[in-house]
């Protein structure tokens, strides 16, 4: 399986990081070694002093597809979840300044939190509320209605470049409110009020 991530898919998040609004979805990959094992804490890596949380709605692909038209994309997933794209922001900034790829900052071990998945039928995927709570306070409060590219559009776009296979997961982008984690933080993600994950930072 592969993890396909979308960057800069919420306008307010683009603004908070002072990034340029893209003409097309920004796509990057994480290896399966980036997945944080269930019930494990997240360990801040020794190479970064500025790791940020980024909560994201996840889509799990349920069959093989290539060059998928947006109008048929809904047939390629039946589960929705929530996760975190941990980002070593200091490392990412160094890479961006040199025009280098972001993998060291985005794809390191444990950088992909994958929470519980729920049947797509339970949600309106174009109006899906999700939140990240940090130590009892909501730090990210998003809704998929603010996406620049909706889920079906993302599946269609990504499938032009990568054959999608059963079990692949798409991270669909993060809303505003990203921030630094420190030791002993407790991060809880909810999707339409359902708890999808809880992670302790070490």
64-121 pLDDT per residue, tens: 999 999 999 999 999 999 999 999 999 999 999 999 999 999 999 999 999 999 999 9
- CA dist 65 and 28 (Å) reads 19
Tell me which residue range forms the domain holding 84: 3-200
User: For the domain that residue 177 is a member of, what is the CATH number?
Assistant: 3.90.850.10
Check whether 4 has a pLDDT greater than 80: yes
Cα(164)–Cα(183) distance, integer angstroms: 36
Name the domain count of the chain: 1
Would you state the pLDDT for residue 20? 77
Mean per-residue pLDDT for 39-63? 98
Q: How far is CA 194 from CA 132, 174, 178, 200, in A?
A: 12, 18, 21, 18
pTM score, whole prediction? 0.95
How far is it, in rounded angstroms, from Cα 42 to Cα 80?
22
- What is the pLDDT at residue 18? 63
The confidence score (pLDDT) of residue 14 equals 64
Q: Stretch 147-169: mean pLDDT, rounded?
A: 98
């Amino acid at each position: 399986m592969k993890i396909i991530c979308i960057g800069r898919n919420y306008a307010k998040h683009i603004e908070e990081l002072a990034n340029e609004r893209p003409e097309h979805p920004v796509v990057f990959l994480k290896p399966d070694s980036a997945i944080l094992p269930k019930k494990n804490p997240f360990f801040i890596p020794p190479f970064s002093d500025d790791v940020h949380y980024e909560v994201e709605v996840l889509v799990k692909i349920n069959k093989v597809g290539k060059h998928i038209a947006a109008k048929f994309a809904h047939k390629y997933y039946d589960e929705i979840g929530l996760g975190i794209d941990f980002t070593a922001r200091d490392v990412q900034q160094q890479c961006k300044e040199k025009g280098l790829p972001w993998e060291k900052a985005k794809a390191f071990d444990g950088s992909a939190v994958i929470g519980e998945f729920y049947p797509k039928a339970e949600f309106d995927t174009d109006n899906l509320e999700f939140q990240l709570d940090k130590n009892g306070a909501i730090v990210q409060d998003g809704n998929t209605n603010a996406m620049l590219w909706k889920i079906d559009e993302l599946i269609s776009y990504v499938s032009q470049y990568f054959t999608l296979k059963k079990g692949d997961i798409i991270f669909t982008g993060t809303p505003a409110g990203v921030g630094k984690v420190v030791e002993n933080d407790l991060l809880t993600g909810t999707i339409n009020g359902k708890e999808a994950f809880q992670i302790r930072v070490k």
